[in-house]
Amino acid sequence: MLKHQALWESSFPEFLQCGESKVVSLMESATLVKIPAGQLVFSSGSSCENYLLLLTGCVKTQLLSEGGREMLLYQVLPGDSCVLTTSCLLSGDEYPAEAYTVEDTSAFVISSHAFYRCLEQSAFFREFVFKNFSARLSSVICRLGEVVFEGIQWRLAKELLSSNVESLQLTHQDLASKLGSAREVISRNLKQFEAKGWVKLNRGAVVILDRDALKKLIQER
């Protein structure tokens, strides 16, 4: 029986359905790792030695400026691979950003040697790698485009409405990191939203009071 077969079935069933011997060998070589919340997964300038497939939890990948400002690039969620890891494995470059676990996380770790061998020999694995890479790269480009070209109030309103809950457990710094802005800028604009009666600011939380007004702001960009 395949090692960790139940985890493959629940998170990456297409690997089992493929049936290629090279893919089976890849799955057999994978190591299951568990990483606690808040731990560094990789840092800027470090070399890439493994391919990761996330099973549970969440990993955030971000850029950090010399002044300490953070900008979230993307999050890796269960069923995903990491676009920067794939890029660095394919190019041989070092990581240009850093990643942390947002919560307790588990993942399959595949060595670079096994990754390269299967990429060369398996059409299924090549399609899986490049399909996931291109999809994630597109989302990163969209996010960077929003940071460069869209106004901060439009992006802030969009982020607040990205969840269907009325009370978001987010600090101003959390929002600043997500939007690639400074905490002071986020605080100033949230206070403007509050003055208009659109939101209510609590410690470590933002409560949405007028969802329609935020939607209208997005539509009027």
Report the domain count for the chain: 2
Same domain, 85 and 183: no
Same domain, 121 and 32: yes
User: Where residue 26 falls among pLDDT bands split at 50, 70, 90?
Assistant: very high
- Whether pTM > 0.85 for this model: the answer is no
Same domain, 171 and 104: no
pLDDT in tens, 73-101: 888 999 999 999 999 999 999 999 999 99
Parent domain of 75 = 5-148
Q: What pLDDT does 148 receive?
A: 65
Q: Which two three-digit tokens encode residue 145?
A: 């485009």
**Could you say which of 119, 148, 177 is where a domain stops?**
148
Same domain, 67 and 27: yes
Same domain, 33 and 77: yes
Whether the per-residue pLDDT at 68 is higher than 70: the answer is no
Q: What is the CATH number of the domain that holds 135?
A: 2.60.120.10
Question: Measured between alpha carbons, how far is 37 from 128 in angstroms, rounded to an integer?
Answer: 28
Q: What pLDDT does 149 receive?
A: 59
Q: Determine the length of the chain.
A: 221
Angle at 207 between CA 203 and CA 210, to 5 degrees: 150
Q: What is the CATH number of the domain that holds 183?
A: 1.10.10.10
Q: What is the mean pLDDT of residues 109-129?
A: 96
User: Where residue 138 falls among pLDDT bands split at 50, 70, 90?
Assistant: confident
Q: Between residues 143 and 30, which one has the greater pLDDT?
A: 30
Same domain, 28 and 105: yes
Same domain, 125 and 157: no
Same domain, 49 and 91: yes
Same domain, 161 and 65: no
Same domain, 96 and 34: yes
**Could you say which of 89, 120, 148 is where a domain stops?**
148
8 A C-beta contact, residue 88 and residue 94: yes
Whether the per-residue pLDDT at 185 is higher than 90: the answer is no
| Mean of per-residue pLDDT scores for the chain | 89
Q: What pLDDT does 217 receive?
A: 86
Same domain, 144 and 179: no
What contacts 205, CB < 8 A, 6 or more positions away? 167, 168, 169, 170
Adjacent-strand bridge partners of 168: 206
User: Where residue 2 falls among pLDDT bands split at 50, 70, 90?
Assistant: confident
8 A C-beta contact, residue 19 and residue 78: no
Question: Measured between alpha carbons, how far is 180 from 62 in angstroms, rounded to an integer?
Answer: 9
Q: What pLDDT does 67 receive?
A: 67
